[in-house]
DNA sequence: CCGACCAATTTGGTCTGACCAATTGAACAC
DNA sequence: GTGTTCAATTGGTCAGACCAAATTGGTCGG
């Protein structure tokens, strides 16, 4: 649903990819709006809307005299998705950073959730944990229950800043990961420890323990996923070489 | 510098504020581009660019038939700045969430920095820590040294995702906080413990300890700042009532 | 009274062509 | 070389037009 395809969006996508591929050097001037309009067979208005989006992305800065490419480190999160889509398989380093970041935020959510949960919310978390335990055998079917748990923790923590970042990150990352059809292999022993720690943290309302449990889970997930991507990359290279 | 004032930007700012003030109910249709153009005495093109920016902000979704207001929880980080600027004094709850989030990311950076730092980087961090200790007496002059330390840790951690989020958060938050001229009062005993833990973490390359030290620092900072804002708000209310 | 259907209107997406002010860049004078 | 000047370029804005999709409101059948 949603993403209605428009000329301006297509232009923005194309230019964004070109910039992320570093086909324009940082600081370099982009072609003029009129040139771009000619190149893409579009009107200046469409080009301007595209450039306006790229400026919002922090990829370029538009001044009278010309639009200049900005260093990628000063861009906004919105570019992470396109950055990961530059090739069929995302950069494992970037994926690792992504999961680290996601872990940090989820950990904070877990801590705050356990801290401020009321009795009813505590019970609900415990019941969600039971579901997690029931599916501990199969990572595949456990996934949605993890999402439920983390989502519910986020609801309790009720941190707008984290939620907004999480939205962006999810939009940029999760959907694209799904497409890869990753089947992470989690160490069962460690997973059991995660679930046990989570259980204890809920029982004793120990927020630090809850945080470290979530942290450990994401750590496992990260290591597994990154390894998977790296091995796929190695296979590709072997086939190509 | 930079922010050249353009009509489209002004329109975007005005509409953004109106939406954040909930002057349009969520799901409600915005006035048509033609209406807005008439209202702001501007051309449709300018209005379209403004709306395009708001769509990038996740505040509205534009479809043929009309632009509709989206729930704020599905917006992007870019709205946090405007959200905090709705009134002279920002919502303390939002500030608290901000600092929590910032803490979570800085903590992760600290952990990774201590983990992967080479000998030279370790030395540099120690020297930065010496500077911190020298200014431990005065929170005011210590601030820039903290920024240096955290910035250097971020450089070592070299996590693009965290950096981009940090950029956004800083752009939305830090500058506006500076204007308030806050003078946080940190508990000296706790501050000393933070510095000591940091020192030990560097000596033993204990990433967890480094993380908890940074966490504790931000915790102190957050409590102090939030209390400050709350007391100011109380003063304002007393004067008004 | 209600729901399904259809046409008129409205709305966003795009294009063309035009004007202004600021910037740029090259020719020019020193 | 260096500083100045001036014309070409560039972004910002406007007006008016067309199309396709969505909305709206009225009509018709139940």
Q: Could you read off the pLDDT of B42-83 as tens digits, one per residue?
A: 999 999 999 999 999 999 999 998 999 999 999 999 999 999
Residue A149 and residue A128 in contact, taking contact as beta carbons nearer than 8 Å? yes
Q: How far is the CA of A6 from the C1' of D19 (A)?
A: 14
Residue A90 and residue A229 in contact, taking contact as beta carbons nearer than 8 Å? yes
Q: What is the mean pLDDT of each run of 10 residues along chain A (241 residues)?
A: 79 96 93 96 97 96 94 94 92 96 97 97 97 89 94 97 93 84 88 96 96 96 94 88 70
Q: What is the pLDDT of residue A3?
A: 65
Residue A26 and residue A71 in contact, taking contact as beta carbons nearer than 8 Å? yes
Lowest mean pLDDT among B55-64, B125-134, B173-182, B223-232: B173-182
CATH of range A80-240; options 2.60.40.420, 1.10.3720.10, 3.30.200.20, 1.20.120.530: 1.20.120.530
Q: How far are the Cα atoms of A106, B105, B108, B113 from residue B159, in angstroms, in the given order? A: 17, 10, 10, 10
Does the distance separating the beta carbons of B73 and A161 come in below 8 Å?
Answer: no
Give CA–CA dist B85/A227, Å, rounded.
44
pLDDT > 90 fraction of chain B, expressed in percent and rounded: 80
Give CA–CA dist A205/A116, Å, rounded.
9
The nucleotides of chain D lying under 7 Å from a protein CB are 9-17, 20-24
Give CA–CA dist B118/B236, Å, rounded.
51
The residue of chain B nearest to residue A43, with distances taken between CA atoms, is B45
Residue B145 and residue B132 in contact, taking contact as beta carbons nearer than 8 Å? yes
- Per the listing, tokens 């038939």 go with B65
Q: pLDDT band at B194, cuts 50/70/90?
A: very high
pLDDT > 70 fraction of chain B, expressed in percent and rounded: 98
Identify, with chain letter, the residue nearest to nucleotide D12 (CA–C1'): B6
Comparing B238 with B50, the larger pLDDT belongs to B50
Residue A153 and residue A115 in contact, taking contact as beta carbons nearer than 8 Å? no
Q: What are the E-state strand segments in chain B? A: 60-63, 66-69
**What is the distance of C-alpha A216 from the center of its chain?**
18
Helix axes A44-56, B44-56, angle to 10 degrees: 30
Q: Where are the domain boundaries for CATH 1.20.120.530 in chain B?
A: 79-240
Residue A49 and residue B50 in contact, taking contact as beta carbons nearer than 8 Å? no
Phi and psi, residue A86, nearest 5°: -60, -35
Q: Where are the domain boundaries for CATH 1.10.10.10 in chain B?
A: 7-75
* Mean pLDDT value across residues B8-34: 95
Report chain B residues whose CB lies below 8 A from the CB of A165: 77, 101, 165
Q: What are the E-state strand segments in A64-116? A: 66-69
Residue B146 and residue B132 in contact, taking contact as beta carbons nearer than 8 Å? yes
Residue A132 and residue A195 in contact, taking contact as beta carbons nearer than 8 Å? yes
Q: What is the mean pLDDT of chain B?
A: 93
Residue A220 and residue A187 in contact, taking contact as beta carbons nearer than 8 Å? yes
Which DSSP letter does residue A205 get? T
Give CA–CA dist A143/A99, Å, rounded.
15
Q: How far are the Cα atoms of A191, B149, B168 from residue A52, in angstroms, in the given order? A: 46, 35, 18
Q: What is the pLDDT of residue B140?
A: 83
Residue B181 clears pLDDT 90, i.e. is over it: no
Q: What is the pLDDT of residue B83?
A: 94
**pLDDT tens track for A105-133:** 999 999 999 999 999 999 999 999 999 99
Residue A72 and residue B136 in contact, taking contact as beta carbons nearer than 8 Å? no
Q: Which class in CATH covers the domain with range A7-75? A: mainly alpha
Q: Which class in CATH covers the domain with range B79-240? A: mainly alpha
Structure tokens at A101: 């970041």
Q: CB-based contacts with strand C under 7 Å?
A: A 4, 6-9, 29, 41-46, 49, 63-66; B 30, 32-35, 44-45, 48, 51, 62-67
Three-class SS of residue B158? coil
Does the distance separating the beta carbons of A97 and B159 come in below 8 Å?
Answer: yes
């Amino acid at each position: 649903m949603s993403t209605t395809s428009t000329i301006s969006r297509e232009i923005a996508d194309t230019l964004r990819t070109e910039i992320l591929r570093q086909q324009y050097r940082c600081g370099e001037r982009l072609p003029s709006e009129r040139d771009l309009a000619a190149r893409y067979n579009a009107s200046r208005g469409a080009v301007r809307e595209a450039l306006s989006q790229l400026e919002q992305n922090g990829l370029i800065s538009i001044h009278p005299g010309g639009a200049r490419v900005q260093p990628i480190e000063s861009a906004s999160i919105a570019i992470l998705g396109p950055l990961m889509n530059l090739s069929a398989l995302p950069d494992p380093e970037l994926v690792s950073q992504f999961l680290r970041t996601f872990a940090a935020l989820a950990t904070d959510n877990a801590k705050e959730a356990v801290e401020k949960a009321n009795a009813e919310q505590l019970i609900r978390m415990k019941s969600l944990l039971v579901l997690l335990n029931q599916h501990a055998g199969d990572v595949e079917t456990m996934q949605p229950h993890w999402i439920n748990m983390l989502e519910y923790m986020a609801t309790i923590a009720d941190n707008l800043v984290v939620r907004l970042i999480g939205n962006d990150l999810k939009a940029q990352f999760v959907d694209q990961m799904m497409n890869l059809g990753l089947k992470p292999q989690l160490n069962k022993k460690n997973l059991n420890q995660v679930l046990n720690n989570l259980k204890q943290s809920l029982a004793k309302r120990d927020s630090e323990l809850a945080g470290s449990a979530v942290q450990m889970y994401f750590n496992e997930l990260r290591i597994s996923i990154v390894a998977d991507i790296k091995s796929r990359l190695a296979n590709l290279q072997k086939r190509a070489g």
